[in-house]
Amino acid sequence: MPVRRSTRKGTVVSTSDKAKNKIQETKGKVKETAGQAVGNERLEAEGAADQTAGDVKQAGEKVKDAAKSLKP
C-alpha cells in the first residue's frame, strides 16, 4: 500500500520518513553484527555506514520537527 504523502502539519510524511530511517538503522546493526560474527570486515563496515546514515537522517527529521513547532 503506498504511503499517503500529506503536507498537513507534516505528520504523515515525517512519520513515514522516521520509520524508514529507523529501518535503515536496524538493518545496519544487523549487517554489522553479522559481519562481526563471520569476520567479514566489509559487511561490518557497510552496517556501520547504514547505521550512521540512518542516524543522520533521523537528526534531520528532528530538526524539521523543531522548525515546524516554531512556526505560528
Percent of the chain at pLDDT > 70 equals: 81
Q: Tens of pLDDT along 13-37?
A: 678 888 999 999 999 999 999 999 9
Distance CA 55, CA 51 (A): 6
User: Which segments of the chain does DSSP mark as H helices, in order?
Assistant: 11-38, 41-70
First-to-last CA distance in the chain? 34
* Model confidence, pTM: 0.71
> CA separation (Å) from 28 to 8, 13, 44, 62, 70?
31, 23, 9, 20, 33
3 or 58: which leads in pLDDT: 58
